[in-house]
Structure 1
Amino acid sequence: MHYNIVALETMFSGLPNLTVPAPHTCSVVSFERSAPVDVGPRLAAADADIAIITTVAVTAAALDIALTPRLKLIVAVAAGTDTIDLAAAAARGVRVLNCPGCNVDAVAEHALALFLACRRRLLPSSRALYSGAWPQRGTLIRTAMTGQTHPPRACAAETVALIGYGAVGKRVATLFRALGMRVIVAARKGALPSDGRVPFQEALQTASAVVLCCPRTPETLGLLGEAEFATMQPDCVLVNVARGGVVDEQALLVALRSGIIGGAGVDVYGQEPAGPDSSPLLAADVAADLSINLMATPHTAWVSAQTTDNNARVLQENIDGFILGEMLAERIRA
């Protein structure tokens, strides 16, 4: 059989030299970037059998069998598949596979970097330095303090609560423990704790740092908001390397401005690509406010040479496995 493969978002990890198992053959059409409205027409134009995406939305309309009659497989070069209408894919028999575990080290290391940057208040200190405040004040040590009064904790005095304990969460735990931090794992919100996990609210109240590395699901949307921030310690640092929508961004901004929590490192946003018009965390007045301890990065936690290599390998494995009927069960999402 000849397979028509369409890669819709090569801007993220590029595209390896894809093959299919002999004696099958394939042709590949690639696009650097695709908007949701492009997905259906581009798959239709190529008469696609296999679609490769990363974050672009694949709607039920794009999966209409009248538009994409040959489509058999969607591979998400990502761990998450929340942008794909999985029910629509399953209803017409389109298999959906993801690429889990490819970015574990990069995301965990980024989470650690965000935490340390916020705990040491690197951005507020750097901004004050560039503004010329050091000669004026004589010292800028207070910019390194939460509320200008509380010096940062040493790692040995930190208690880190993990919300989400998959592959990334486990790697985060290893890195943070290696620096001497106590690590606890929160149970699901509203669920009875098991396997040594700590009740959700207790974890928030106990922690000096909260790291989000959970998937975006109906259960986790809006997981942290005004009520949850109010229970946290005033020097608590929130790190979000999970997915946008898990945190109420407006509530987080209020918590940062009012000193309810001590800082936040954020890599993901409710609307992406994110900018000043879509996220209150990226507004111009926030960027100009020297007192806000917010380190924001543009969904780059996953980026590393190792991740790119892993993505290429797992993508090829998924295509081969689908054609040969040897798919790994843990990668099947529809």
Structure 2
Amino acid sequence: MGAPPSPTHHNIVMLQTQYFPCPHFDLPPQYTKTEFIYKETPRSELHARIHDATIIVLATTRLDAVALSPEVTPYLKFIAITASGTDCIDLDACKKRGIVVSNSPGVNIEAVSEHAIGLYFAARRKVLQMHNQTRRGAWVHKTTLMFDMLNPDGTAPLTCQEEVAGVIGYGVVGKRIAHLAQSLGMKVLISGRKGAGATALPSALQSEERTPFEEIIRKCTVIFVVVPRNGSTIDLISTPEFKNMSPHAVVVNVARGGIVNEEALVAALKENLIAGAATDVFLQEPASPETSVLLREDAEDLNLTVSPHMAWVAERTQQNLVDVTKKIVEGWVAGQPCNVVI
């Protein structure tokens, strides 16, 4: 790589610059830097590239306990994540070594929230199924595809005015989704924590009223999943939740894979427990029919719309990433850290 760093010289290693333009870092006058810019980083080259780093900038590259050990990254002091999620980093390993981690919350608010609404319409209106059937000539064969638009119980799709939307995860993206849903005419309920029961109601620490998670599952006709993935949110929605949902329910996940159990979701759609679903995320990414039941042949005819973790992509997001990454790296070097996770 380069020469080992000194107290006033930083080696800044950017592992994934294919996602947005590389920022130019202006460090305080007493500091110098060497920048190592990589468009993408295969696992086979990761350890060599980060060995002399004091600062690592990444989006989704996995840094496990081995990568964060003193043997592999002896000089590492700071990690800047160009995303809001931190599940790619072993935070416990960072905490043990005193490595500071900052993330980039809010950079994709507009893009992800708009994508979530788009996925909702795709699922509620069966857009993908109607597209495929029309292209296959089914419209001519059947003379009308109206009946293919109906729910399993024979009812027609709801419009926004009839929807009761549940937002699970009320961070900046969840708030934006709630605002868009309300603007479309939906009644919006904000979910409390799973299992919290009555403690989900307002407290001195939260101004917005919360509806108990279990009530969200029972009452809502569209559920937006926007929570971080951690130990408490894995399989947050699985078989018991699907069995308690309205048959008109549509589930939209723009958070992380694994929060909605993939096998349970496919089973719920096959058994007509819910009306439809859409997801931008998968338990294992990149996803394929070999790694996800959502992409297998027997799921092709289900009312399930998928996109390849691209909800964040927008010109605004890319500029926000440049600005926020520059801010958090320069701020940490100057002794003014921001967006600190640990």
Measure the CA separation in 2 of the matches of 1:262 and 1:286.
Answer: 14
SS at match of 1:52: strand
Measure the CA separation in 2 of the matches of 1:64 and 1:186.
Answer: 39
SS at match of 2:174: helix
Aligned residues of 1:36 and 1:58 also touching (Cα < 8 A): no
What is the correspondence of 1:191-230 to structure 2 with a 5 Å cutoff? Answer: 191=196, 192-195=199-202, 196-230=209-243
Residue 313, structure 1, aligned to residue 323, structure 2 = yes
Measure the CA separation in 1 of the matches of 2:164 and 2:258.
Answer: 25
* Identity over aligned pairs, percent: 39
- Cα deviation, residue 308, structure 1: 0.6
Aligned residue among 11, 18, 22 for 1:4:
11
In structure 2, what is the equivalent of residue 322 of structure 1? 332
Aligned residue among 259, 263, 271 for 2:272:
259
Point out where structure 1 has 5 or more consecutive residues left out of the alignment: none
Amino acid at match of 2:341: R
In structure 1, what is the equivalent of residue 67 of structure 2? 62
In structure 1, what is the equivalent of residue 206 of structure 2? none
In structure 2, what is the equivalent of residue 42 of structure 1? 49
SS at match of 2:277: strand
What is the correspondence of 1:268-279 to structure 2 with a 5 Å cutoff? Answer: 268-279=281-292
Measure the CA separation in 1 of the matches of 2:314 and 2:153.
Answer: 35
Once the two structures are overlaid, the 10-residue window that deviates more, 7-16 or 29-38, is 29-38
SS at match of 2:200: coil
> In the TM superposition, what whole-angstrom CA distance separates every residue of 1:239-279 from its partner, at most 9, and x where no partner exists?
00011110110110111122110011100111111111111
Residue 90, structure 1, aligned to residue 106, structure 2 = no
- Cα deviation, residue 159, structure 1: 0.1
- Cα deviation, residue 41, structure 1: 2.2
- Cα deviation, residue 285, structure 1: 3.4
In structure 2, what is the equivalent of residue 19 of structure 1? 26
Once the two structures are overlaid, the 10-residue window that deviates more, 13-22 or 102-111, is 13-22
In structure 1, what is the equivalent of residue 39 of structure 2? 32
- Cα deviation, residue 104, structure 1: 0.9
What's the TM-score once normalised by structure 2's chain length? Answer: 0.93
- Cα deviation, residue 37, structure 1: 4.9
Amino acid at match of 1:140: L
What's the TM-score once normalised by structure 1's chain length? Answer: 0.95
Measure the CA separation in 2 of the matches of 1:35 and 1:163.
Answer: 34
Aligned residue among 77, 89, 100 for 2:82:
77
- Cα deviation, residue 147, structure 1: 1.9
In structure 2, what is the equivalent of residue 333 of structure 1? 341
Aligned residues of 1:121 and 1:145 also touching (Cα < 8 A): no
Aligned residues of 2:174 and 2:226 also touching (Cα < 8 A): yes
Amino acid at match of 1:21: P
Instruction: List structure 1 runs of 4+ shifted beyond 4 angstroms.
Output: none
RMSD: 1.3
Aligned residues of 1:19 and 1:26 also touching (Cα < 8 A): no
SS at match of 1:67: coil
In structure 1, what is the equivalent of residue 114 of structure 2? 109
Amino acid at match of 2:293: P
Point out where structure 2 has 5 or more consecutive residues left out of the alignment: 1-7, 203-208
Aligned residue among 150, 161, 166 for 2:166:
161
Aligned residues of 2:24 and 2:326 also touching (Cα < 8 A): no
In structure 2, what is the equivalent of residue 285 of structure 1? 298
